[in-house]
Structures are given as structure tokens and as C-alpha cells.
């Protein structure tokens, strides 16, 4: 029997990154998944990246991972989200050709040394004393030294369409039931969550000519730092809206929806509500936007983003046909909701290892998250730490100030989840520094020293770093007179000259650079990055001070009459959680699930004003 170093269970986004990371580090890895065709499957929307998620993808890429490169190879539309806002909260996103993304993920995984793909359902596992073992449904056994479990929505998965429910891991895939009961037996705290997906439409029956179009960006922002060209033809999405007739149909059939008919009790993602939820919760709105996203260049399937549902099939057809442009649409596959088991991630160390089962690592949706990017990010860290574990090395923990990955894992293991956890930029207190554009600057050297990135992958980064250093040096060492600085800032002249770097946030880089600095050769491609860095530098320093203040003020008392409704920066979700919990100290407020450091800073500022 062959012995591996690392056994990765599940070939979804977490499993792929876990296996690839361990393989890149030189480990001998078995990736065991139900079907070979699981690799790179997008269970729901055909898109990679976005706000917060785009940051995670860039970080995965900066650590040598697969998702960004596969995303670029499968991209049929690029959009940089939040383009009009500052660079810190801009998120690269691609619309994916599902099949091409899958093929690219498989190709990149196959090219990773040391990874053996094994088809089969894992029904039993054990770890202990540097020895790990999984048993497949055919009773065969595979041995290794540590396990990374990444079973997604499959543990005790139950699909719901109206009043029809059946066990499944996702549409067309069996649930993982034997493994689920084993995990429940293992003294781990297991809960239930749910998520949903919309019906898929036949694009040949959509009246595209009548619909508004959303094209991609003219100049694409690639997901991977290593991508230099667009691979596939680019296509627009369509835009349409629900209307009062759609809402009437949904309202009239609410009791037939799995959720409102009482078949589902677990919690779904609040920020990604089903269309039933939208109609009920936002009763005053008579229209919701829908993006019609093509699922591939040679595939007529269209993903209607914004109308996930657990209504019965006949109602789904009725309501989609009430929507402008979809009057004659055919539904190729019905939407559905799925409930599944997740493990309370507070059972994990910051290295993603189950605290009382050394050698067992968990990553992805099993930890209560939702999303390909959140799964991939955890997978990479779990794969890395599983290898370090079997080599008797300390686990690697990224801090909240280093990476969104650090924020994600810290949130999971300290606060747990009570709804599927999705990344948002607002979760990161250091978001001005954690930009998608500087993920390589933050992480690639570390990735190389950990063995996650070989010299060939890092060569491009080395070139870029030299340009960044040269450009930074030029901008910092060149200065302008006090009078010129005052003209640029519109203020009064100060006593001394000011460096061009200091002034970068206040005027256009082109003007400054052209007049006052001779930039070193070839630095043009990195100038925008340097401008973002210079722009944020003073704010980042202030942020650091805010953070230190929060730590000092943990015990600060919150008066019972503090009015959260008048704090304009708080989300309605946090406002209602704060009102319900009525925390007595700032520290208690910080431990409310979903609380963000930015929100805590707002509360702290208000408390200080009252003192």
C-alpha cells in the first residue's frame, strides 16, 4: 500500500488549493474526491473574485495558488468592481466560462508535482501519532501522515425544491452521509447551514436584443499577477429586473417555498438572499436587479444572478417568465436550496488544525464559509500547515494586518459563524494596506521562503520588486520647494521642502512626476501602485494607532442607552446584533459574531465623544 504525506479529502476549491500547496512544498499528496470531474466545479455562480473575494484570490495567487490563473484562463468578462472608489476597496472579478475554468484548474493541478488524484468516497478516517488513514466506500484504505478535509456542502447535504427534498451534496452529486455521522461522533460541534442557487436559463430563449447590456472593462484587470493577456473572447452580461407581477407570483406561492413552507430551518447567507427573502424582507421594493451571466462561450446556459430560490419548479418557471426579456425563457435546471453540516471552526487552531485531533485539518465550506475564494484561501493554508505539521515545524499564521486570509481565519477560529461567512472589505481593519494590487508585495517573499513558490514563479515578482524599489526611492528622495508644495496642496507654505512622495496623494502623479522627478527607466507599469501606497501611507499609520487604542480600551464600559441607530457607519446587520446583545464593554461588543474592527472603532469614537 502506498503511503502519502498528506491526504486531502474533497476536490473542490479548498481541496485543490490544499493539494497544490502541499505538492509545491515537495510533499507526496493524495487528493481523494468522489469524481475526477469534481476538480474546479463551480457549484453556483460562474464568477471568480469581487469585493473582498478578489483580494483573497490575489493573495492565493501571491502564494503560488491556482485559482487566479485558472480564473484568467476561463475569463469571458473582466470587471474591476468599485472602480470609482479608492484602490483599497477595488476588487477584480471575472465572469467565467465554467468548462474552461474547470479545464484550467485540472491542467494546473496536474502540472503540480507530487499530487495523485484518487476517485472515491471517503467514509472513514483517523489520525494520530503521525499516522493518518482514510477508508473509501469500497473498503480500500489509503495511508498518510495528516489529513485535510474539504468536503464542502456534502456532509449530510439535503437539497430542497419546494416540498421535494432529497439527500445530495449539490445537484447531481450524492451527499456524504457516512463521513458526516463519523464527524458527529468525533466530539466536534456540528451545525447546519443553508445556501441556494437560481434556476439556469436557456440563453437561446432570452430576448437579448431588448435587454440592457453590461460589457466588461476595456482594459482588463487580470486576477493573476502572472497573467499578461486575455485568453478567451469577451462577452457582455444582460441586465433585467423583477417587477410587481414577479413579486405577486412569489408572494402567492410562499407557502410552497422550501424555506417559507417550513422545510428548512438552518440559516443562509443574509447578504445573498433568495428571491423569496427579498420579496418578504424588502416588501417596499417592487423591483430587484438581475444580471444574466453567460456560463460559457459554447454553452447556452445562463445564470440569472439575484434570483436564487427554493420554490417549486412550476413557480420558478412562472416567475422567471414574468420578467422583462424572459417571457419565453426555458428553464434548463431548477434552482434549489441546500442544507448541510458544518463544523464550528472554533474547534480549530489558527493553523486550521482540529485542536483535539492533531493531524486533521479542515478547510472550506465545512468551516462555515461560503464562496470559492474563501474555500481556496483556507485550503492553501491548511495544505501548507499540514505539510509543516508532518515536518514538525510551527504552523504558519497570517496576521490580520498581513492578509485577508489572516482576517478570514482569525474571524473563523475566534468568533465562529452563525450564518455562512463571506469575505467583505469591511471585515478588515487594515484594508487600506491589504489591497488587491499589493498582495504580491505583502506575501510573495513569504511564500517563497515557505517553499510555496519556486524560483520560476517568483521571477516576475523579482523584476517587479526591483522596479517598485527604484520608483519608491526616486519619489521619496526628490522634493519640491515649500512654495511649490503649497501651490500643489492649496495650503500655506510650510517651513521646509517636501518630498514628492508626501504630495502624491494630493495631486496627479503625472503632473508631479513629469515636473519634479526623473523616474527610473521601465517604472511606468508600477507608478499607479506607488501612488496608491503613498496615498494611503498616512491613513495606515493612523489605522495602526486606532487598532492599538481598541486593544487598550477593551474594558471601556458601554452605557445601556447608547443609541446604535444614530451611528451612520454601522450596517443594519450589526446594528440589530448590537441592540440584541446590548454589550456592556467594548470587549464584549468585539466578540459578537460578525463584528468588524471598523464598527468597533465607530463605537469607540462615539464613547469618547460622550466622555
Residue 281 assigned as binding residue: yes
Nearer to ligand FAD, 79 or 442 (CB): 79
Please identify which residue in 151, 322, 385, 425 interacts with ligand FAD, judged by CB under 6 A: 151
Closest CA to 88 of 320, 496, 360, 429: 429
String marking each residue 523-562 x if it binds ligand FAD according to CB under 6 A: ----------------------------------------
**170 near ligand FAD (CB under 6 A):** yes
Please identify which residue in 121, 277, 429, 437 interacts with ligand FAD, judged by CB under 6 A: 121
Least distance in angstroms from the C-beta of 15 to ligand FAD: 5
DSSP code of 43?
A: S
Please identify which residue in 7, 8, 9, 80 interacts with ligand FAD, judged by CB under 6 A: 9
**176 near ligand FAD (CB under 6 A):** yes
333 bridge partner residues: 200
Least distance in angstroms from the C-beta of 486 to ligand FAD: 49
Distance CA 39, CA 103 (A): 8
Least distance in angstroms from the C-beta of 316 to ligand FAD: 14
Nearer to ligand FAD, 18 or 595 (CB): 18
For β-strands 164-167 and 331-333, DSSP reports them as unpaired
Residue 122 assigned as binding residue: yes
Residue 272 assigned as binding residue: yes
Q: Is 205 helix (H, G, I), strand (E, B) or coil?
A: helix
Residues with Cβ < 8 Å from 522, sequence gap 6 or more? Answer: 467
Distance CA 28, CA 77 (A): 36
**46 near ligand FAD (CB under 6 A):** no
Q: Give per-residue burial for 224-235: e unless 16+ CB within 10 Å, then b.
A: bbbbeeeebebb
String marking each residue 361-380 x if it binds ligand FAD according to CB under 6 A: ---xx----xxx--x-----
Using the rule CB under 6 A, give the single segment among 144-152, 342-350, 468-476, 578-586 that binds ligand FAD.
144-152
Nearer to ligand FAD, 43 or 401 (CB): 43
* Contact in structure between 109 and 20 (CB atoms under 8 Å): yes
**105 near ligand FAD (CB under 6 A):** no
**153 near ligand FAD (CB under 6 A):** yes
Distance CA 328, CA 201 (A): 11
Q: Residue 357 has which C-alpha cell? A: 485531533
Using the rule CB under 6 A, give the single segment among 30-38, 292-300, 352-360, 513-521 that binds ligand FAD.
30-38
**102 near ligand FAD (CB under 6 A):** no
Residue 13 assigned as binding residue: yes
Residue 176 assigned as binding residue: yes
Using the rule CB under 6 A, give the single segment among 149-157, 203-211, 242-250, 398-406 that binds ligand FAD.
149-157
Nearer to ligand FAD, 258 or 485 (CB): 258
* Contact in structure between 146 and 321 (CB atoms under 8 Å): no
Task: Name the residue with cell 505539521.
Answer: 389
* Contact in structure between 293 and 95 (CB atoms under 8 Å): yes
Residue 11 assigned as binding residue: yes
Please identify which residue in 5, 6, 7, 45 interacts with ligand FAD, judged by CB under 6 A: 45
* Contact in structure between 354 and 404 (CB atoms under 8 Å): no
Q: Where are the beta strands (DSSP E) in 145-199?
A: 146-149, 158-161, 164-167, 190-197
Nearer to ligand FAD, 118 or 398 (CB): 118
Nearer to ligand FAD, 366 or 570 (CB): 366
Write phi, then psi, for 598 (nearest 5 degrees): -65, -40
Residue 12 assigned as binding residue: yes
HEC letters along 507-522: CCHHHHHHHHCCCCCC
Please identify which residue in 179, 347, 532, 603 interacts with ligand FAD, judged by CB under 6 A: 179
Distance CA 181, CA 178 (A): 5
Distance CA 28, CA 390 (A): 11
Interface positions, 228-287, toward ligand FAD (CB under 6 A): 272
Least distance in angstroms from the C-beta of 83 to ligand FAD: 21
Q: Long-range contacts for 517-525 (Cβ within 8 Å, ≥24 apart)?
A: 517/474, 517/475, 517/478, 518/474, 519/471, 519/474, 520/467, 520/470, 520/471, 520/474, 522/467, 523/467, 523/470, 523/471, 523/474, 525/467
Nearer to ligand FAD, 264 or 570 (CB): 264
Least distance in angstroms from the C-beta of 386 to ligand FAD: 15
Cite the annotated binding site for NAD(+) by residue number.
268-282
Cite the annotated binding site by residue number.
10-15, 122, 176, 268-282, 365
Instruction: Report the interface residues with ligand FAD, using CB under 6 A.
Output: 9-15, 32-34, 38, 43-45, 121-122, 150-154, 169-170, 173, 176, 179, 195-197, 272, 338, 364-365, 370-372, 375
Amino acid at each position: 500500500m502506498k503511503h502519502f504525506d498528506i491526504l486531502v479529502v474533497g476536490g473542490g476549491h479548498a481541496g485543490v488549493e490544499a493539494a497544490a500547496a502541499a505538492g509545491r512544498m515537495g510533499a507526496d499528496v493524495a487528493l481523494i474526491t468522489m469524481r475526477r470531474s469534481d476538480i474546479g466545479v463551480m457549484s453556483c455562480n460562474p464568477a471568480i473574485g469581487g469585493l473582498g473575494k478578489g483580494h483573497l484570490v490575489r493573495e492565493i495567487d501571491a502564494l503560488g495558488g491556482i485559482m487566479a490563473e485558472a480564473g484568467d484562463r476561463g475569463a469571458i468578462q473582466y470587471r474591476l468592481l468599485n472602480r470609482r472608489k479608492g484602490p483599497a476597496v477595488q476588487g477584480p472579478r471575472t465572469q467565467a466560462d465554467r468548462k474552461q475554468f474547470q479545464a484550467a484548474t485540472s491542467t494546473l493541478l496536474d502540472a503540480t508535482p507530487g499530487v495523485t488524484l484518487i476517485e472515491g468516497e471517503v467514509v472513514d478516517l483517523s489520525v494520530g501519532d503521525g499516522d493518518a488513514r482514510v477508508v473509501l466506500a469500497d473498503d480500500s484504505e489509503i495511508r498518510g501522515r495528516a489529513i485535510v478535509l474539504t468536503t464542502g456542502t456534502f456532509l449530510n447535504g439535503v437539497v430542497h425544491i419546494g416540498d421535494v427534498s432529497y439527500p445530495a451534496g449539490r445537484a447531481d452529486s450524492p451527499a456524504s452521509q457516512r463521513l458526516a455521522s463519523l464527524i458527529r461522533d468525533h466530539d466536534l460541534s456540528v451545525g447546519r447551514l443553508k445556501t441556494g442557487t437560481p434556476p439556469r436559463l436557456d440563453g437561446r430563449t432570452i430576448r437579448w436584443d431588448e435587454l440592457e447590456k453590461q460589457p466588461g472593462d476595456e482594459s482588463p484587470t487580470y486576477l493573476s499577477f502572472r497573467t499578461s493577456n486575455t485568453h478567451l473572447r469577451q462577452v457582455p452580461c444582460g441586465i433585467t429586473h423583477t417587477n410587481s407581477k414577479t413579486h405577486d407570483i412569489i408572494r402567492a406561492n410562499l407557502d410552497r417555498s422550501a424555506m417559507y413552507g417550513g422545510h428548512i430551518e438552518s440559516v443562509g447567507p443574509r447578504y445573498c438572499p433568495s428571491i423569496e427573502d427579498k420579496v418578504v424582507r424588502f416588501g417596499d421594493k417592487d423591483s430587484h436587479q438581475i444580471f444574466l451571466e453567460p456560463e460559457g462561450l459554447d454553452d447556452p446556459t445562463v445564470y440569472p444572478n439575484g434570483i436564487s430560490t427554493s420554490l417549486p419548479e412550476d413557480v420558478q418557471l412562472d416567475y422567471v417568465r414574468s420578467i422583462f426579456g424572459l417571457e419565453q425563457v426555458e428553464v434548463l435546471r431548477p434552482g434549489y436550496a441546500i442544507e448541510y453540516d458544518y463544523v464550528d471552526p472554533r474547534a480549530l487552531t489558527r493553523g486550521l488544525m482540529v485542536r483535539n485531533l492533531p493531524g486533521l485539518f479542515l478547510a472550506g465550506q465545512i468551516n462555515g464559509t461560503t464562496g470559492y475564494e474563501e474555500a481556496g484561501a483556507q485550503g492553501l493554508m491548511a495544505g501548507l500547515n499540514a505539510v509543516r505539521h508532518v515536518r514538525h515545524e510551527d504552523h504558519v499564521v497570517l496576521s490580520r494586518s498581513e492578509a485577508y486570509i489572516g482576517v478570514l481565519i482569525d474571524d473563523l477560529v475566534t468568533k465562529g459563524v452563525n450564518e455562512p461567512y463571506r469575505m467583505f472589505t469591511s471585515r478588515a481593519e487594515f484594508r487600506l494596506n491589504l489591497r488587491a494590487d499589493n498582495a504580491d508585495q505583502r506575501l510573495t517573499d513569504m511564500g517563497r521562503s515557505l517553499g510555496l513558490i519556486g524560483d520560476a514563479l517568483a521571477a516576475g515578482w523579482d523584476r517587479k520588486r526591483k522596479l517598485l524599489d527604484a520608483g519608491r526611492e526616486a519619489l521619496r528622495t526628490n522634493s519640491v520647494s515649500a512654495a511649490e508644495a503649497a501651490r500643489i496642496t492649496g495650503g500655506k507654505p510650510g517651513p521646509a521642502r517636501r518630498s514628492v512622495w508626501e504630495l502624491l496623494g494630493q495631486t496627479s502623479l503625472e503632473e508631479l512626476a513629469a515636473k519634479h522627478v526623473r523616474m527610473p527607466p521601465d517604472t511606468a507599469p508600477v507608478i499607479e501602485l506607488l501612488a496608491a501606497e503613498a496615498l494611503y501611507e498616512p491613513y495606515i499609520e493612523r489605522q495602526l494607532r486606532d487598532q492599538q487604542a481598541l486593544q487598550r480600551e477593551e474594558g471601556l464600559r458601554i452605557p445601556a442607552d447608547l443609541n446604535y441607530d444614530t451611528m451612520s457607519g454601522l450596517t443594519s446587520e450589526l446594528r440589530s446584533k448590537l441592540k440584541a446583545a446590548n454589550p456592556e464593554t467594548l470587549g464584549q461588543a468585539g466578540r459578537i459574531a460578525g463584528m468588524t474592527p471598523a464598527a468597533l472603532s465607530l463605537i469607540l469614537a462615539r464613547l469618547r465623544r460622550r466622555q
